Structure 1
Amino acid sequence: MIISQNLYNMAKIGYIMAISQYDKLEEDREWMNNFGCIRIVEECDENERNRPLWKQLMVALQRGDELVIPKFSNAIRGSRELATFLEFCRVKAIRVISIHDRIDSKNQLFPETKPSDVLEMMGALPEEVLALRKTAEHMVNLQAKMIASLPKVSSTKLQKLDREKTVINLYAAGHPIDEIWRASGFKSRSSVFRILNKHGIKLNRGNHSGPIKKKNEEDTSKDMDKS
């Protein structure tokens, strides 16, 4: 996702660090949409540390734009970055609205917010940022472990599965047993019957009709010899 600078001219923009465990995502989206945000930028778990979309957004913001965030700890990664961000917004006259901190830099929303609330937000920022970072890293590590734990299918097994699929598809298409046998590459015709039986395919070819009997039954061996 590349943020075009031309889209932001005196605009309302939303930004959310949308990690998997963040339970207010839909609520924040609705708030931002109701406020009139023309776009909501959402960063995902694996980008929590580098935040490429946040960096693009900082470049794209124009003088007089309005930026809506869920919390300062959701968008900012530390006290030093907070100071730099606030100076950036001051210079560019960008209005910042933090929904859950209930802070509006233009003092139009949240009139009940006091200076002590702002100071409390700043004091809690490092702890909240660390908690969010740990949650994001945990989700990324968990996903990596889940992928690593998936059983690996060898090329030999894949070839076997492809051969069995060929037998089943040819039989379902109405091809004779002999043609299926030659196409499958098996050394014996009995292998074709074995695969059909394995996958529960009911035989419907003349002498080969109904369920396949056990190998030690004489009539089954005769049927195989005649086919």
Structure 2
Amino acid sequence: MAKIGYIMAAAHYDKLEEDRQWMQEYGCVKIVEENDADEKSRPLWKQLMIALERGDELVISKFSNALRGARELAMFLEFCRVKVIRVISIHDRIDSNNELFPETKPSDVLLMIGSLPDEALVLRKASEHVSKLQERMIVQLPPVSTAKERRMDREKTVINLYAAGHPIDDIWKASGFHSRSSVFRILNKYGIKLNRGKHSGPIKKKGERKNSQDKKVEDNQ
């Protein structure tokens, strides 16, 4: 004889972990968790019904979690009677062997049977609602990088393009800066030595450039 658990793991079902722990502590060797996307076809439930053998014990979260209506309940109970399957429903507090839940009365069982169609319908509608939401879910764009990250990316672009030998004007256009001086500012910030055309040697500050120009004028006089 084997103890087997079954749970319809609906997205809105908030007792999943509690039921799983109950089944494990009870000694279930296998816990079958049906995805709520398969609420209508229930392939794992059907496989479980085939796998159950005479004398096994089936633990379910609730009858409405496993069965879709009173008609299915009647067929299921007949199946369990023929195969001598013990059924334990955690939240209905029903044990077909009358060992657990001694406080459960016949009126509680009748109440479960009477409310089964409505509870199963609620589960079905909730599962359908989740499926529709998933189908209509808008793909969210990745978060926009921070201003600091954008600035760092722009500076890396300038340095990499310059190191690759691209002209200053091309780097300026690719960087998105408003002026060419911004390109030189980035190169100067990272100590990049200019090595092409009239832009060669270390980048001088404004005061240094003026002194250099004055010196050239003096030399020419």
CA RMSD of the aligned region, Å?
A: 3.4
2:39 is aligned with 1:48: yes
Amino acid at match of 1:37: C
2:60 is aligned with 1:81: no
2:58 is paired with a residue whose SS is strand
TM-score under structure 2 length normalisation: 0.70
Which residue of structure 1 aligns with residue 175 of structure 2? 193
Which residue of structure 1 aligns with residue 139 of structure 2? 150
Displacement, 1:176?
A: 5.2
Identical-residue share of aligned pairs (%): 57
Give structure 1 regions of 4+ aligned residues with deviation exceeding 4 angstroms: none
Displacement, 1:70?
A: 0.8
TM-score under structure 1 length normalisation: 0.69
Do the aligned partners of residues 32 and 208 (structure 1) sit closer, same or farther apart at CA in structure 2, a change above 3 Å counting? same
- C-alpha contact 1:13 1:38 (8 A) present in aligned 2: yes
Equivalence map 1:103-182=2 (5 Å): 103-146=94-137, 149-150=138-139, 171=156, 175=160, 177=162, 179=164, 181=166
Measured in 1, the distance between the counterparts of 2:175 and 2:198 equals: 12
Q: Which structure 2 residue ranges, 5 or more long, are not aligned?
A: 143-152, 191-195, 201-221
1:41 is paired with a residue whose SS is strand
- C-alpha contact 2:6 2:59 (8 A) present in aligned 1: yes
Which residue of structure 2 aligns with residue 26 of structure 1? 17
Measured in 1, the distance between the counterparts of 2:129 and 2:197 equals: 58
Do the aligned partners of residues 128 and 225 (structure 1) sit closer, same or farther apart at CA in structure 2, a change above 3 Å counting? farther
Displacement, 1:177?
A: 1.7
Q: Which has the larger radius of gyration?
A: 2
Displacement, 1:210?
A: 3.0
Measured in 2, the distance between the counterparts of 1:28 and 1:207 equals: 61
Displacement, 1:114?
A: 1.6
Do the aligned partners of residues 208 and 88 (structure 1) sit closer, same or farther apart at CA in structure 2, a change above 3 Å counting? same
Displacement, 1:19?
A: 0.5
Which residue of structure 2 aligns with residue 93 of structure 1? 84
1:209 is paired with a residue whose SS is helix
Amino acid at match of 1:210: K
